[in-house]
Chain A
Amino acid sequence: MEPNFIFIDQTLSYALRSKAMATSEFIFIKKEIARMAKVIFDIPLDSLTGIQGYKVIDFRDVRAGISMNVDQVKRAYDLGCDQIKLSFEPVALRNSLPPFMAALAEAVRRGMTTAIHGIDIARYSLDTIAILRKLIKEDRLAGMIVDDPGGRLHPLATYRTLLDLKQVIPYPIEYHGRNTLGLATGNVLGAVKSDIRKMAVSIGGVGGYPAFEEVIMSIGHLLKMPVSVPPNMAITCKKILDCMGLSIPAAKPIIGSHIFAHESGIHVDGVLKKSELYEPFRPELVGLPRIIIIGKHSGKAAVEQKLKELNISINPSHLSRVLEKVRELSNRQKAPVSDAQLPQLVLETAL
């Protein structure tokens, strides 16, 4: 059975926070992300109304983030949002119950799907949860968001805490992690292991959220759960980030331009024999090319292959000397040997 993951996108929200965005850009990014997976876009209400020409945008897959305020619920409804994220301050909950309940009632009256945001995974209070349980009828809520705003937990703790929370929270739980310590994707896997199917992500991990591409690939390839990995993810993610004015580090997992670049002798030799030896998945799966780089770490197999690609034939007995020259040159120039430089080295060797 398809486990039915729903990804709560944070990319657009981050994009709106970081720069002024044209309506067309917003629509483009939204469409590209929605094409890749089943997604809900989490965006604060004020950011939505800040988009130029927002009135023409279809907000049905957008969840407006609002605070405890009836008027904000109405505004989200008027924009065409079917769903809202209603935030509360746990410490102030007792004092602010009336506006919270009024906002919730307004959303229910208008048939809007509501998720409650305010439980911090590292410091939640059972009292707060008990109050919420007493007040809210289950059928009113789409879910409760468990947040790790500081990204302080590790996967085992995330997994155990979420299991504990499932015992006391009678609504579906949604998990929002952060990558503060570099553990975000692992923590999402912890949430998945605790049977959670809704999680916050962003393309390339922008805004400090778990990276969508890592999460979906890990769920599919490592946990081996049935989830469809969208084709050409590296290309789509690049288009989205380009539009936001961001570049992708070459070594970025799953989508970096150089994650299938090989230079070291052992690796190139291996990949040419059988790609699985040194590639975790095939480059075509994410739409990236394999690149053979000739340089300091090269071995004979790589140089031979590169010469073949360049249609250069060479006396096999000269190969070792060419390799030596390759290493010397790349050391000297502190860079790999280019396709233009290699024939010159072959020529020098033959002399």
Chain B
Amino acid sequence: MKVNLIDTTLRDGEQMAGLVFSSSEKIMIAQTLDRAGIYAIEAGIPAMGKDEQHTLQTIASLGLSAPVIAWNRAIIQDIKTSINCGQSWIHVSAPVSDLHINYKLNKSREWVLRQLADSLAYACSFGCRVLAGAEDASRADEEFFLKVAETAANAGAERIRFADTVGCLEPFKTYEIMQNLVKRCPLPIEVHFHNDFGLATVNTVAAIQAGIQFASVTVGGIGERAGNASLEQVVNVLSGLPGWDTGVNRAALPELSGLVAEACNLNSKVHCE
């Protein structure tokens, strides 16, 4: 079965506190990911400012085989900004846990559904391909996640991201949740795991074993806090399990890892791994 990996090194990866990729580094990483056979590249957040918009515009015009995705909050202005810098794949993220809806947004579930539907439909009206993101889905009510998916599907979304925003799932729970969601969700699900307990890769694998066909990863597992599921690890594990194919060329991984490590200025001295 084909497993489609969406690399978010240039978006969530760069959100590792203190990290800045230069424009040329981002372009080079995108090109290298594409050559390695990655399914899609989440390249950044146009709403962050002119520099980022310019970089994303350049990456989107490289003619890569992989779709280049711009990340947006469910805010019309964010999406306008993305469209204005030539983005044709629009990811729209909205929080779906009551914790986030109540304490971060101070809004209601209905507000989230409306905001997401409006933002997706707006992007669609410009002919963009749209993807929905459900932030903090692992701490959300499952029925509400499905409601969000249904709303997103009706607004034109092609896929929904299930984000384990604070990395609080373990593989057995992941397997159980995904087995259920795969059957019931109106959209294909992309899983997105964080590594707070060291379980991002293993959760990704468990989700895939439960029938999920899309997963976000970052090179070297870089990302917020303890990072994300690592592209290299996920590809290596899946290559050892019969029946799955990521389409990523394993021989291209060392170059990619090196490139990103260098751009991160990661200290390559002895450490405990």
Contacts and interface: CB of A to CB of B under 8 A. Distances in A.
B238 to A, nearest CB: 10
Contact of A277 (B99, B169, B205): B99
A253 B195 contact: yes
Interface stretch (B119-127, B219-227, B249-257): B219-227
B2 interface: no
A278 interface: yes
Interface string A218-243: 10011100000000000000000100
Interface stretch (A56-64, A92-100, A140-148, A177-185): A177-185
Nearest to A202: B272
Nearest to A281: B196
Interface residues of A, number: 70
B17 A262 contact: yes
Contact of A182 (B16, B20, B73, B202): B202
B271 A253 contact: no
Contact of A249 (B51, B166, B203, B271): B271
Contacts of B49: 324, 327
Given A277-B104, A278-B166, A190 B197 contact: no
A295 B20 contact: yes
Nearest to A180: B236
A278 B165 contact: yes
B198 A253 contact: yes
Interface string A258-283: 11111110110110011011111000
Contact of B168 (A280, A324, A328): A280
Contacts of B198: 184-185, 211, 214, 218, 253-254
B103 A274 contact: yes
B237 interface: yes
Contacts of A277: 99-100, 103-104, 136
A259 B14 contact: no
Contact of B20 (A193, A217, A274, A296): A296
B48 interface: yes
Interface stretch (B59-67, B171-179, B184-192): B171-179
B17 A252 contact: no
Interface stretch (A39-47, A106-114, A131-139, A331-339): A331-339
Contacts of A263: 15, 17-18
Given A181-B237, A253-B198, A331-B20, A246 B270 contact: yes
A190 B172 contact: yes
Q: How large is the interface on B (under 10, 10 to 19, 20 to 34, 35 or more residues)?
A: 35 or more
A218 B237 contact: no
Given A181-B236, A182-B233, A267-B224, A218 B20 contact: no
B201 interface: yes
Interface in B1-16: 14-16
Nearest to A154: B205
A261 B202 contact: no
B175 A331 contact: no
Contacts of B206: 154-156, 186
A32 to B, nearest CB: 15
A246 B270 CA distance: 6
A69 interface: no
Of B17, B201, B226, B240, which is in contact with the most chain A CB atoms at under 10 Å from its CB?
A: B17
A185 B202 contact: yes
B20 A335 contact: yes
A279 B167 CA distance: 9
Of B104, B175, B198, which is in contact with the most chain A CB atoms at under 10 Å from its CB?
A: B198
B14 to A, nearest CB: 7
B36 interface: no
A154 B104 contact: no
B51 A331 contact: yes
A78 to B, nearest CB: 33
Interface string B14-48: 11111010100000000000000000000000001
17 contacts: A154-B241, A181-B233, A185-B199, A186-B202, A186-B205, A218-B170, A223-B170, A241-B272, A247-B267, A247-B272, A251-B225, A256-B226, A267-B224, A277-B104, A280-B167, A280-B197, A296-B14
Closest CB pairs A-B (n = 7): A186-B202, A261-B17, A214-B198, A204-B272, A263-B17, A182-B233, A253-B198
